[in-house]
Amino acid sequence: MSQMLERLQREKIVAIFRYIEDQYADQAAEALLAGGITLMEITMNTEGAAGMINRWRDKYGSQAGIGAGTVLDLDMAKEAVAAGSQFLISPNLDEAVVEYGYANGVPVWPGVMTPTEIVRAWKAGAEAVKVFPMATLGWKYLSEIRAPLDKIPMLATGGVDLDNIADYFKAGACAVGMGSKLVNLDWVRSGRFDLLTERARKFADAAKAL
């Protein structure tokens, strides 16, 4: 098990930064850190993502785990790893990305939905998978697939909120990925970083209580 997977299972939440403008990114990251969220993913379809990842590794590397999200293919994976990503997360399963990450010591948590995809990802070398889209599938789906596939760590992404986060963990998620519920871009753009910290603290406390 990689150190990053151990950290994922311990901290239980990955914050997803998608479409955040570079001018606000550092303050948003600091707001989440202040609230106790330390695993952060910048999606590769965010303008300037590689530059932000590189900067955050320098600025927050001692406090945070910084990774890349929406890594769709090998070219994106190479760009993200060159920028300093400590983990790669995808909405899809591309075995070439999993193999590249494995060869370079960077964990890849690919996006999967069906039991067949989950096992394929595992056989390709993924030490954990991202079950997506959970907002549509729901935690009951996760509970069903966990029964026969209980050896494979699953990161549940989509649909997680304060009132159901416990259900996701009871269903067998090792961690959850959260975007707009944590990184509210309206708050970011209006300078309400205090609200980001407050929200982060609530989710971090909820995860620790489980």
Compute the distance between CA of residue 12 and CA of residue 199 in angstroms, rounded to an integer: 15
Question: Is 21 considered catalytic here?
Answer: no
CB 120 within 8 A of CB 98: no
Is 102 within the bounds of a domain? yes
Per-residue pLDDT of the chain (210 residues; tens, 9 = 90+): 899 999 999 999 999 999 999 999 999 999 999 999 999 999 999 999 999 999 999 999 999 999 999 999 999 999 999 999 999 999 999 999 999 999 999 999 999 999 999 999 999 999 999 999 999 999 999 999 999 999 999 999 999 999 999 999 999 999 999 999 999 999 999 999 999 999 999 999 999 998
**Domain residue limits at 128:** 3-205
Is 72 within the bounds of a domain? yes
pLDDT at 1: 82
Closest to 183 (Cα-Cα) out of 6, 4, 17: 17
pLDDT at 210: 86
Is 38 within the bounds of a domain? yes
pLDDT at 166: 97
pLDDT at 186: 98
Catalytic residue among 6, 12, 30, 41: 41
Is 210 within the bounds of a domain? no
What CATH number corresponds to the domain at position 12?
3.20.20.70
Catalytic residue among 21, 130, 144, 170: 130
Is 188 within the bounds of a domain? yes
Burial (0-12, 13-18, 19+ Cβ within 10 Å), 46 = buried
Is pTM beyond 0.85? Reply is yes
| DSSP string for 57-115 | HHHHTTT-EEEEE---SHHHHHHHHHHT-S-EE-SS--HHHHHHHHHTT--EE-EE-SH
Is 127 within the bounds of a domain? yes
3-class state of residue 155 by DSSP: strand
Q: What is the tally of structural domains in the chain?
A: 1
Is 123 within the bounds of a domain? yes
Compute the distance between CA of residue 150 and CA of residue 35 in angstroms, rounded to an integer: 31
Question: Is 59 considered catalytic here?
Answer: no
